[in-house]
Amino acid sequence: MPVTPEQQAEIDALRATPRPTLRAVSDGMEAHLYNINPVLDHGFVRVIDYMGDDAAICQAARVSYGKGTKSVQNDEGLIRYLMRHWHSTPFEMCELKLHVKLPVFVARQWIRHRTANVNEYSARYSILDREFYIPSADQLAAQSSVNNQGRGEALTGAEAERVLDILKSDAARCYDHYQDMISDDGQQGLARELARMNLPANIYTQWYWKVDLHNLLHFLRLRADAHAQYEIRVYADEICKLVADWVPFAYKAFEDYRMGGETLSAAALDCVRRMLKGEEVSQETSGMSAREWRELQEVLG
């Protein structure tokens, strides 16, 4: 399970002791502080701390005193303008610190986003828990025939059962050997920093991850996308819910201009203009490659 009764008691104690503050507070994020948001079979995301809110974005943009706002409508309009025109600095004034529990292979994808501060649970000093990510049967799929980094049709029946049995037995055997190697019962015992090399990539790790809003939204644009790997996408989806409550104006603008919008090349934009004038445009007359043309057709529906 994601947390033990002792850990839940600690969370309850933290939430039971609010403190007065003069800093900017987001009521939406206050409701999430410290709480566990389960992800996958043993993972979670929880907010440890945050800085700023929608008004802080506007304050930074205007470099003014106090809230830096004229009205709520002006705030929302300014944020949408900033998002629409790719002004990133005001969004960097808000920060979020998360505590994340995730499989190691997901962490290795996640860490590619190098614009955050990370401190991970150390298997040199501590012993990792016996917790592994085992996919549900509906997430087992064959290699895609059209995408070298994606999944194709789902595995079914005996083949799905065979794969699940392999995943479970391999994880259990590797952890048994890990325990055997580090044990000092009748032997010296192997150092933890060496014994960890035998653990599989589906074992769970934990880290604190602190990032500013601009770079967080870039992470979410890539990892909450339908084409992202399922195991990291579910974490991104959970973080999206937190951000929507934290900075609702900024998140709505992000949904509209980044997640729901499209960026067209000069050639694609020229094709659209020609189509609007009534011209019949084909891939051969578009000046675009076959793949570019196919992607434009998908955008235009």
Query: Nearest 5 degrees, angle CA 43-CA 244-CA 62?
Result: 130
Residue 205 contacts by C-beta under 8 Å, 6 or more apart in sequence? 101, 102, 103, 104, 107, 120, 121, 123, 128
Q: Does the annotation count 162 as an active-site position? A: no
3-state secondary structure of 66: coil
Of 223, 233, 291, 294, catalytic? 223
End-to-end Cα distance, the chain: 43
CA 119 to chain centre: 16
Say which amino acid occupies 286: S
Alpha helix positions (H), the chain: 5-15, 27-30, 54-62, 72-84, 104-110, 157-182, 192-195, 213-223, 230-246, 248-254, 266-276, 283-286, 290-300
Half-sphere exposure (CA, 13 Å, Cβ side) for 261? 14
- For the chain, what is the largest distance between any 2 Cα atoms, rounded to a whole number of angstroms? 84
Measured CA to CA, the distance from residue 166 to residue 103 in angstroms comes to 17
Task: Classify the phi-psi angles of 216: left when phi > 0, otherwise alpha if psi is within -120 to 50, otherwise beta.
Answer: alpha
Burial (CB count <10 Å: 0-12, 13-18, 19+), residue 51: middle
Residue 48: count of CB within 10 angstroms of its CB: 15
Residues recognised as catalytic: 223
